[in-house]
């Protein structure tokens, strides 16, 4: 299938690497040198084109520019796409429709792990393109199709922004280790191993049961866990999701 990716940034590169084997890619951007640097990072040859009345008629287009650049980017596209895929955070289908003409619209919300083909990507939009969307975005990890844009916006707050929240947890745990006397490199190694081992645990058990399984009566985990609860860690994460979700909503 022929695919056009607009905006040669980080997310576009992850997608292009995931998609290049099975698709014929054209990368579209506003800077010719950046486009060349971008395609050099791909294994296979990809075409490039400047964002200047670029013809999208009948094409499948994945929009990967920053949300604030939607209007300016749309001005460089001409015609009516078959499907417009958009990874723009907090940018609803109504706004996409105003900017770019297409038969079908699908929003996708990947995350930074796309770089290692381990994204958790949420999808929503025209049901006719559900299977195609799942196929395309499975090339960078797992997908979840949801029925509403509201759910996708909440998913943005959980899994799109999530790597930043987990990075905070990782850094804080390492800082705790260093504070008590571990070498920084050793603390980082421990945290990295901890996160790697946690993924399979989580896919086999509920978090509450995992916690119960670790916590011995009067033990170290109970002492540490109580400190997290006392300091409002749970409430802080819930509020982080709320604030991030609210940021996706149109300004009143
Ligand atoms: N990074 C992440 O973790 C996630 C990002 N997203 C979404 O992905 C999208 C891209 O983010 P990301 O790849 O991280 O960002 P990058 O900054 O790496 O890439 C953004 C791209 O947009 C292009 N761009 C910016 N302004 C304009 C403009 N006015 N006209 C044309 N092109 C423009 C840039 O072009 P140029 O190189 O010429 O500046 C660049 O190629 C965003 O909409 C974001 O919401 C979604 C989920 C997670
Ligand atoms: O912070 C942002 O707006 C984007 C959306 C998800 C991850 N990064």
Q: Which of 88, 160, 246 to mutate to test the pocket of ligand 2 (most atoms within 8 A of CB)?
A: 160
Asked whether the CA dihedral 208, 212, 214, 218 is positive or negative, the reply is positive
pLDDT at residue 45 in the model: 83
Choice from 6, 64, 113 to test ligand 1 binding pocket (greatest atom count within 8 A of CB):
64
Ligand 2 pocket: which of 64, 68, 89 to mutate (most atoms <8 Å of CB)? Answer: 89
In this structure, which long-range contacts are made by residues 88-97, counting pairs with CB atoms below 8 Å and at least 24 apart in sequence? Answer: 88/63, 89/156, 89/160, 89/248, 90/153, 90/156, 90/247, 90/248, 90/249, 91/67, 92/149, 92/250, 93/125, 93/149, 95/70, 96/63, 96/70
Residue 16 in this model has a pLDDT that exceeds 80 = yes
Q: Residue 251: which pLDDT band, with cuts at 50, 70 and 90?
A: confident
Q: Is 76 in the pocket of ligand 1 (CB under 6 A)?
A: no
Q: Which CATH superfamily is domain 162-248 in?
A: ProC C-terminal domain-like (1.10.3730.10)
- In tens, the pLDDT along 69-93 reads 999 999 999 999 999 999 999 999 9
Q: What are the sequence ranges of the domains in the chain?
A: 2-146, 162-248
Looking at all shown ligands, the one closest to residue 247's CA atom is 2
Q: For residue range 178-205, list pLDDT tens digits in order.
A: 999 999 999 999 999 999 999 999 999 9
- Statement: 2-146 belongs to CATH 2.40.50.100: no
Residue 44 has a pLDDT of 79
* Ligand 2 nearest-atom number relative to CA 163: 7
The per-residue b/e assignment along 41-79, b for 16 or more CB within 10 angstroms, e otherwise, is: eeeeebebbebeebebeebbbbbbbeeeebeebbebbee
CA–centroid distance, 89 to ligand 2, in Å, is 6
What ipTM was reported for this prediction? 0.96
Residue 58 has pLDDT above 80, yes or no: yes
Q: How far is the CA of 160 from the centre of ligand 2 (A)?
A: 6
pLDDT number for residue 166 = 98
Residue-averaged pLDDT of the chain: 96
The pLDDT value given to residue 19: 93
Q: What is the pLDDT of residues 131-141, one digit of tens each?
A: 999 999 999 99
- The mean pLDDT value for 49-64 works out to 97
Start-to-end C-alpha separation, the chain? 40
How far apart, in whole angstroms, are the C-alpha atoms of residue 13 and residue 64? 10
Are 35 and 8 in contact, with CB atoms under 8 Å apart?
yes
What pLDDT does 204 receive? 98
With a pLDDT cut of 90, the percent of the chain lying above it is 96
pLDDT for res 208: 98
Pick left, alpha or beta for residue 79 (phi over 0 → left; psi -120 to 50 → alpha; otherwise beta).
left
Question: Whole-structure pTM over 0.90, yes or no?
Answer: yes
Any atom of ligand 1 within 6 Å of the Cβ of 31: yes
Q: What is the mean pLDDT of residues 213-231?
A: 98
Cβ-based neighbours of 28, under 8 Å, separated by 6 or more: 4, 5, 6, 7, 35, 48, 49, 50, 51, 54, 76
């Amino acid at each position: 299938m022929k695919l056009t990716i607009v905006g040669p940034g980080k997310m576009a590169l992850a997608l292009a690497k995931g998609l290049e084997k099975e698709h014929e890619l054209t990368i579209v951007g506003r800077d010719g040198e950046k486009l060349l640097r971008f395609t050099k990072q791909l294994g296979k040859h990809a075409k490039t084109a400047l964002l200047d009345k670029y013809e999208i008629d009948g094409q499948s287009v994945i929009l990967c520019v920053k949300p604030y650049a939607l209007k300016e980017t749309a001005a460089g596209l001409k015609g009516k796409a078959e499907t417009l895929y958009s990874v723009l955070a907090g940018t609803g289908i109504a706004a996409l429709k105003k900017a770019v003409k297409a038969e079908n619209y699908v929003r996708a919300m990947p995350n930074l792990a796309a770089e290692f083909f381990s994204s958790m990507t949420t999808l929503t939009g025209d049901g006719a393109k559900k299977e195609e969307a799942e196929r395309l975005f499975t090339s960078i990890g797992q997908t979840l199709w949801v029925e509403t844009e509201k759910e996708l916006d909440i998913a943005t707050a959980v899994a799109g922004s999530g790597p930043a929240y987990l990075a905070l947890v990782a850094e804080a745990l390492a800082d705790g280790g260093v504070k008590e006397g571990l070498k920084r490199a050793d603390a980082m190694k421990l945290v990295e191993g901890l996160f790697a081992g946690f993924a399979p645990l989580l896919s086999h058990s509920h978090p509450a049961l995992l916690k119960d399984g670790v916590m011995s009566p009067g033990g170290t985990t109970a002492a540490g866990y109580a400190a997290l609860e006392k300091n409002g860690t749970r409430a802080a994460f819930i509020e982080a999701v709320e604030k991030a979700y609210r940021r996706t909503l149109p300004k009143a």
